[in-house]
Each structure stands twice: as C-alpha cells, then as structure tokens.
A = this chain, B = another copy of it.
Amino acid sequence: MKLYGFFASSAAFRVRIALNLKGLAYEQASIHLRRDEQRAPDYLALNPQALVPALVDDDQVFIQSLAIIEYLDETHPSPPLLPGHPADRARVRGLAQLIACDIHPIDNLRVLRYLRKPLGQDQAAIETWFNHWIKEGFDSLEHILATDGQAGRFCHGDEPTLADICLVPQVFNAMRHESFDLKPYPTIMRIFGTCMKRSAFDKAQPAKQPDKE
C-alpha cells in the first residue's frame, strides 16, 4: 500500500493512525500542500480533488480519509475500528463526522488561504475564525463524551475507534494555535492522552513523519 499524504495534514494523519492500528506496512509519498504539489498533473490524475490523502492498494486509488479508513477496516477487520452494534457504530461515526465534516474542512489550509486572499482578512481575523470553529465543535464533543455514558478510556469504550482517530489530529491542529484554550475540554484531553500512549497514534504524529519540516 502507498499513502499519498503530508506530515501536517490532519486527514492524512488519520489514515496513518488507522494503518498503524491495523499493523499494516505502507509506503509514504509526500505531497507538499504549501507548495501546491496537490495540483501537479501526476497527483491530480490520482486524486482529482487535489487534496490529501489518497491511498493506493492493489492498483486502486481511494480518496477521502474516512472512506479509506472504513475500507481498511473492511479489508483488515482486526482490530476493529468500529463497534459491532449498529447503534454504537452510528455513535462512533457521528463523533468522527462531527470532527471530519464540521470542524476540520472549515479550518483547512485552502479555506484559510481564501480568507486571506481574496477576502483580505488579516492574521488576527483568521486566527479568530480558526479558533471559533474548533470551539463550536469541541464544546459539543466534550459535552457528549462527558455526559452520554459511553466513553471509556477512549471515545467509545476502552479500545480506540474511528472517533479517536479523528479526535487526535484535531487536538494536534488546535495545539498548533497557541491562542486556542484547551482547558475547557478535560474529557477530550484525557482521551487524547490515552491515545498518545499507544504507539499507533504516536508514530503517526506530524513530527515523526519523513517529510516533517
């Protein structure tokens, strides 16, 4: 398997965690987003969306991190990244999508760039925007995790799932911005700490990737 990613991409980070949890060997290709390598013709032929990640397995190309992770879970079922019961699976997918649909895309590099140009926003306004959407998402995520009685050591029970795979890169993303206050999120940060003790999460972090700058 070959993963096209970028050390700083949260979506690629998710797939790296999933591959590590499954114990799958993979080759990495770096697509430098800040140098716009995602728009090079060779990469566009793989992923016309000009985003990372893309995973190539058996000469087939897969895009979108959550779709890729569910593919890995279906083709390599052990250890499972989703619980067995439909209602539990829906809870885990819901938590994952709360992050992957409603926080991350709005704070993505291409959106922040658009705010700067053409919208002419300054760094302070962009920082406020960034923090606003993480806060919106983390306020509700913390509330759910702290109150619905289904979190254990991880977001759902005592083993990592797709929800933790999304949570950890989003916390890294928040920590990149010193102005974002993580103190109101004790449950998120407790689970984050538990995850980071597992090598599958730790080895996937941006600072430990070959293309780290």
A172 contacts the other chain (Cβ, under 8 Å)? no
Identify which of A26-34, A60-68, A175-183, A204-212 touches chain B: A60-68
Copies of the chain in the assembly: 2
CB within 8 Å for A87 and B71 given contacts A62-B94, A66-B97, A119-B125: yes
A102 and B51 contacting across the interface, CB-CB below 8 Å: yes
Interface of A: prevailing SS: helix
* Residues from chain B with Cβ under 8 Å of A94 in the complex: 62-64, 67-68
B106 and A89 contacting across the interface, CB-CB below 8 Å: no
* Residues from chain B with Cβ under 8 Å of A89 in the complex: 70-71, 74
A67 and B90 contacting across the interface, CB-CB below 8 Å: yes
A100 and B101 contacting across the interface, CB-CB below 8 Å: yes
Minimal Cβ-Cβ distance residue in B for A11: B101
- A114–B119 alpha-carbon span in the complex (Å): 13
From 32 to 55 in chain A, residues with beta carbon under 8 angstroms from any chain B beta carbon are 48-51
How near does chain B come to A115, taking the closest CB pair, in angstroms?
8
A185 contacts the other chain (Cβ, under 8 Å)? no
How near does chain B come to A64, taking the closest CB pair, in angstroms?
4
How near does chain B come to A78, taking the closest CB pair, in angstroms?
15
* Residues from chain B with Cβ under 8 Å of A51 in the complex: 102
CB within 8 Å for A60 and B74 given contacts A48-B144, A100-B101, A114-B129: no
A48 and B86 contacting across the interface, CB-CB below 8 Å: no
Given contacts A66-B101, A115-B119, 15 further A-B pairs with CB under 8 A are A48-B144, A49-B102, A49-B140, A64-B93, A64-B98, A66-B93, A67-B90, A67-B97, A68-B90, A70-B89, A70-B93, A71-B89, A101-B101, A119-B119, A119-B125
